Chains A and B, each alone.
Chain A
Amino acid sequence: MSALGDALAEVSQTARRLSQLSRRTYQNPYILFEWPDAVEPERDWFSTPEYVSLYGTPVWAGLAEPARHRVAFHEAAGFYSLNIHGEKSLMQGLAARLYRGDLVDVADYLHHFLDEENKHSVYFGGFCTRYARVHRTRQASFGTDRSHDIDDFLFFARTLIFEEIVDHYNRVQARDQRLHPLARFINDNHHREEARHLVFGRCLVTALWTACAPTWSQSVKDEIRDDLHQFVTNCWREYYHPDVYADARLDDPWELAEVAWSAPAQKAHRRMVSAGCQRFLLAAGILVEEWTDAF
């Protein structure tokens, strides 16, 4: 059995409980919500203003209220787009592991995981294609020659980091009464299902690390840690999307992305949002130092 198989056997009880919850809350994304014919990007809030990537910068301070709404609307499309791309990679990884010889015992929960990620993308894609557009990603993969164990660990650890950051935004925006009901619904719905995925992710990543780390050389562990450091930076960079700024009719979008990324208020924001995930990875011994490059 692989390290992933051993780790999954260890978390099988959790997986069974989460599968039951998934069945109980099974939903049809095509009938759960009625899409409005049109939205008003300059009148309604579609993102929490304090979570807009320009918040705390001189550019944000200089924008009139309708322009701030417009930026927040396109940031919502950017946020949903990065979710679409993240979930696409996640679905590919889950599908590749479905019914793999050493993973047959957890196929039941992997089915739910895959099914729920697909449904989330229906909502995200529905918003973007109806009212804005799906923004491109810069995440590119050229494959690796790493062993199964390393690939499995990195896949689930990256998934966890990506989902923990996204879930923080979902929780805040689901509760924000200033937001348009559609934006609150999409964030709330995603949060409810992601909560299960995060429980599974934390159990599995811990079990995988415990099973594999003693067998990995120091250089392998160093490279894994370096990958995770770079990955969290990549995740956060997607929140500062030049195409989003261009759609919001802001000048010089690449320079603006760099200005926003470097703004002290934004660095503090990234540190605050990442704190829970970083604390978990440090406590598990997976990280040995903070993600300074991302902050």
Chain B
Amino acid sequence: MRSEAEIRTRLRSFVRRRAGDRPVSDSTPLLADRILRSVHVPELILLLERLRGAPIDVERLRPGDFDSIDAIVERFGPAS
């Protein structure tokens, strides 16, 4: 499992690549603002699995898990 700082850095890079010129912070609502959509979730899950070194059970996911970078770190980060 990578550190929280490293996970945040990789997540910010993933999100910014899809945000275009829209500003994004760690609390920006990613799905509600349509910065990320359902179609982006599989690659995001793969990235998180690599950073955690452990699988994520897709059948137990909830939309709120990807609300923001903060929410993603809380749900899938080192303290999860």
**Can you report 10 residue pairs joining A to B where beta carbons are below 8 Å apart?**
A139-B42, A140-B42, A142-B31, A142-B41, A143-B38, A231-B39, A238-B42, A242-B55, A254-B49, A258-B50
How many residues on A have C-beta within 8 angstroms of the other chain's C-beta atoms?
22
Q: Which B residue sits closest to A228, measured CB to CB?
A: B39
Contact A139 B58 (CB under 8 A): yes
CB of A165 to closest CB in B, whole Å: 15
Residues of A within 8 A of B42 (CB): 137-140, 234, 237-238
Tell whether B37 is near chain A: CB-to-CB under 8 Å: yes
With contacts A138-B45, A138-B56, A238-B42 known, what are 17 further pairs, Cβ within 8 A? A136-B57, A137-B42, A138-B58, A140-B38, A140-B42, A140-B58, A142-B41, A144-B37, A144-B38, A227-B39, A230-B39, A234-B39, A237-B43, A254-B49, A255-B50, A257-B46, A258-B50
Which residues in window 138-193 of A have CB below 8 A to B? Answer: 138-144
Q: Which A residue sits closest to B58, measured CB to CB?
A: A140
Tell whether B23 is near chain A: CB-to-CB under 8 Å: no
Give the size category of B's interface with A: 10 to 19
Known contacts A138-B45, A142-B63, A230-B43, A254 near B50 by CB under 8 Å: yes
Q: Is the interface of B mostly helix, strand, loop or mixed?
A: helix
Tell whether A233 is near chain B: CB-to-CB under 8 Å: yes
Q: Which B residue sits closest to A144, measured CB to CB?
A: B38
Which residues of B approach A to under 8 Å, CB–CB?
31, 37-43, 45-46, 49-50, 53, 55-58, 61, 63
Tell whether A44 is near chain B: CB-to-CB under 8 Å: no
Tell whether A243 is near chain B: CB-to-CB under 8 Å: yes
Contact B49 A242 (CB under 8 A): yes
Contact pattern, A 245-259, Cβ under 8 Å of B = 1, otherwise 0: 000000000110110
Residues of A within 8 A of B31 (CB): 142
Name A140's contact: one of B45, B50, B55 (CB within 8 Å): B45
